[in-house]
Chains A and B, each alone.
Chain A
Amino acid sequence: MKVVVCVKQIPDPAVVGSLDEAFRLRRTGKVILDDADTYGVEVALRLVEAAGEGEVSLVSMGDATDVTGIRSALAMGAVRATVVSDPLLRGADALTTAKVLAAVISRDEPDIVIAATESSDGYTGTLPVQLACLLELPAVTFATSVAIEGGVVVAQRQTEAGYDEVRAALPAVVTVTAGVVEPRYATFKGIMAAKSRTVDVLTVADLGLDAHSLAVRQEVVSVEVTPEKSAGEKFVDDGTGAQRIIAYLERVKVLSGGGS
């Protein structure tokens, strides 16, 4: 069972983000492994454990100056990582990123490719499906549970109304939602092992990709500040909070006044 997990290092979400002069998210500060990706790594590790054989590897695209986030996924139990890092890819849209990741993944011929439904910085949420189509694999999206039964991936797929049970023959791309499983904490042994695991850093040229096919094809034209909403009333509860909420709801006519 060969499983590849797509992971992303993102700016620390605890720090308020900002844009550079080209309207791109500044990625200068500390980067961490996207929390959304820890679920995918966990699902991958469990699939390999259930199969009794195989390995989990990681692919990523982005600045590889600091790969601490990637190492934290290796510490969970992935055996190696490939990061495509190239100035040519600055400002790449999701389809371009998918082309790059597809070029890496197709060399591995995995049984299953796992990704989060979306990253926690860009929230584009289309990359895994684009990747699946480029690899000519079925995309099982929004999975809240994943199992392999006789060469078929069986998943519960979250819908607006509930969930569907869906099935696709392997190989396949699966996107997992946050909360699908409880990600394991890296053990001390895992953290030590991760230090010696290989993180391959590749460029666009290494992958034999044509730079023209990776050209930026969408742009932000302008960014406007949204008028701030004026601050509402706020007070510290002194035991009258509930009564004051009711009075407010009567004032704005959500509740009819004066009780019944």
Chain B
Amino acid sequence: MSALNIWVVCEPSGTDITTTSKELLSEAVRLNATVSAVSWGPHTDGLSDLTGSWGAHHFYDLGDLGGVLPGSVVAATVASLVSEGTPDAVLIPASTDGRDIAGCLSAFLDAPVLTNITGLREGPDLLSEHTLFGGTQAAFARNLGSAPSIMVVRPKSFAVGTPAAASASRVAVTPVTPRVRLVNIASSHIEQRNGPALDDAQVVVSGGRGLGDAASYGLVEELATLLGGAPGASRAIVDAGWVPYSHQVGQTGATVKPTLYVACGISGATQHMVGMKGSTYIVAVNKDPDAPIFSLSDFGVVGDVHNVLPALIAALRARS
């Protein structure tokens, strides 16, 4: 078969692009595809070199969108571009903005979208891999309609490659006004965090319902600090309002792949396990010996987090 033609929606992050965007570019390179990057924002000047170094041959530069949610604008623009040089697939990071773009693109192109992708497999068709039932099974799917396949890929599904000294040819594009009204961003708020970011941390310590109350989350934070890691949370305690969403690990939160993951009072719902099962070493502390988390843990302690965590914190303090 001839080389695949893959477009990657690269989400801006300051003057850089997000890690997931780099993962998608790297995978497109691994598939020996002709790669085009699409990005936007106030800092696209350096992105020809940057996306080029990650393997893009072409860079479609939409420029600054002017304080609106990018979803419908980026989708309308990509929809107008792909009708000219039809790619086999458009890869999109599974982020909040990425998911908006994918939904709009699907409606504008009248093409279905494959979401929650955790892998790609090349065959007669490009197949997408999806994790089922918390990782016990994997489904492989494909689009039957006309190209392109719209594919939304979860973070950390692919390793990032090695950047090369190459530049993509820049194509300046005037953003297309979509047929839906725009959503204005009135203000942006960044939640302050001490220590490493959740999705980059080498150690993640997460808490769940088993902590009993919001105040006990302090144990999780303290342990995370002592191990040089980031505190995380199950969806249950985020929904309960104990900690902000930015702490959530799982299907609907962050995907993490640290060297060490410590699950404290987390039973191990499918929703949670999908977001952390790629961790190298998993330690679990839970009162219930039958908690599903123990099926995934390398080292499990059946016990009360209110006994084990304070002792662990004291012991680690004594070492430092």
Chain A residues in the interface with B (C-beta under 8 A) = 16-17, 19, 23, 93-96, 98, 117-118, 120, 123-130, 132-134, 136-142, 144, 154, 157-169, 172, 177-179, 216-226, 228-229, 231-237, 239, 241-246, 248-249, 252, 254-255, 259-260
Contact = CB atoms under 8 A, between A and B. Distances in A.
A154 B238 CA distance: 22
Nearest to B125: A221
Given A124-B115, A144-B245, A223-B132, A139 B100 contact: yes
Contacts, number: 266
Contact of B300 (A133, A235, A255): A235
Nearest to B271: A120
A128 B96 CA distance: 13
Nearest to B300: A234
A205 to B, nearest CB: 21
A166 B185 contact: yes
A235 B298 CA distance: 11
B143 A217 contact: yes
B99 A160 contact: no
Interface stretch (B57-65, B168-176, B282-290): B282-290
B48 to A, nearest CB: 25
Contacts of A178: 235, 239, 252
A135 B251 CA distance: 28
Contacts of A133: 72, 75, 103-104, 107-108, 178, 180
B269 to A, nearest CB: 8
Contacts of A95: 106-107, 110-113
Given A138-B180, A232-B298, A260 B104 contact: no
Contacts of A216: 144
Interface string B107-148: 110111111100000000001000111011111111111000
B142 A126 contact: no
Interface in B47-96: 69, 71-72, 75, 95-96
A220 B304 CA distance: 43
- The B interface, classified by DSSP as helix, strand, loop or mixed, is mixed
B71 A129 contact: yes
Contacts of B178: 133
B99 A129 contact: yes
B301 A165 contact: no
Q: Which 4 A-B pairs have the closest CB atoms?
A: A237-B303, A129-B103, A133-B107, A242-B311
A98 B107 contact: yes
Contact of B139 (A138, A141, A223): A223
- The A interface, classified by DSSP as helix, strand, loop or mixed, is mixed
Interface centre among B100, B138, B260, B318 (most CB of A within 10 A): B100
A228 B138 CA distance: 12
Contacts of B184: 166-168
Contacts of A23: 139
Interface in B259-309: 259-260, 271, 281-283, 285, 289, 294-304, 307-309
Contacts of A164: 185-189
Contacts of B142: 218-219, 221
Given A137-B181, A217-B145, A241-B311, 10 more contacts: A141-B99, A161-B246, A216-B144, A221-B140, A226-B137, A231-B294, A233-B299, A234-B297, A243-B311, A245-B285
A232 B191 contact: no
Interface centre among A23, A219, A222, A237 (most CB of B within 10 A): A237
B225 to A, nearest CB: 15
A127 to B, nearest CB: 8
Contacts of B238: 179
B9 interface: no
A204 B186 CA distance: 40
Contacts of B104: 129-130, 132-133, 139
Interface centre among A17, A126, A159 (most CB of B within 10 A): A126
Nearest to A170: B181
B228 to A, nearest CB: 10
Given A129-B71, A141-B71, A232-B282, A163 B106 contact: no
Contacts of B215: none
Interface centre among A133, A225, A234, A249 (most CB of B within 10 A): A133
B99 A125 contact: yes
B180 to A, nearest CB: 5
A138 B301 contact: no
Nearest to B229: A254
Contacts of A235: 300-302
